[in-house]
C-alpha cells in the first residue's frame, strides 16, 4: 500500500502543474493579444480580451475531459 503522504504529494504536484499551465497560457494569450492589437491598430483592446477567454474555455474543457475519465 502506498504511503498517504506520497499520494498527497503526487496529487499536489498534479494540481500545481495544472495551475502553472493555466497561468502561463493566460499570460501568453494576453501578451499575444497586446501585440496583435498593436499590430492591427485596433482602437479597443479586443484581442486582449478574446484570446485569454478562448484559452480559459479550452483549459476548462480539457480539465473536464481529463477528470471525467473513469
Contacts of 29 (CB under 8 A, 6+ apart): 51, 52, 54, 55
pTM of the model: 0.79
Task: Summarize pLDDT for 30-46 with one digit per residue, the tens.
Answer: 999 999 999 999 899 99
For the cut 80, the answer to whether the pLDDT of residue 3 exceeds it is no
Amino acid at each position: 500500500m502506498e504511503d498517504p503522504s506520497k499520494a498527497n504529494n503526487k496529487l499536489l504536484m498534479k494540481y500545481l502543474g495544472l495551475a502553472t499551465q493555466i497561468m502561463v497560457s493566460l499570460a501568453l494569450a494576453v501578451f499575444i493579444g497586446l501585440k496583435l492589437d498593436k499590430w492591427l491598430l485596433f482602437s479597443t483592446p479586443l484581442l486582449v480580451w478574446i484570446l485569454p477567454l478562448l484559452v480559459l474555455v479550452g483549459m476548462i474543457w480539457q480539465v473536464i475531459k481529463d477528470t471525467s475519465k473513469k
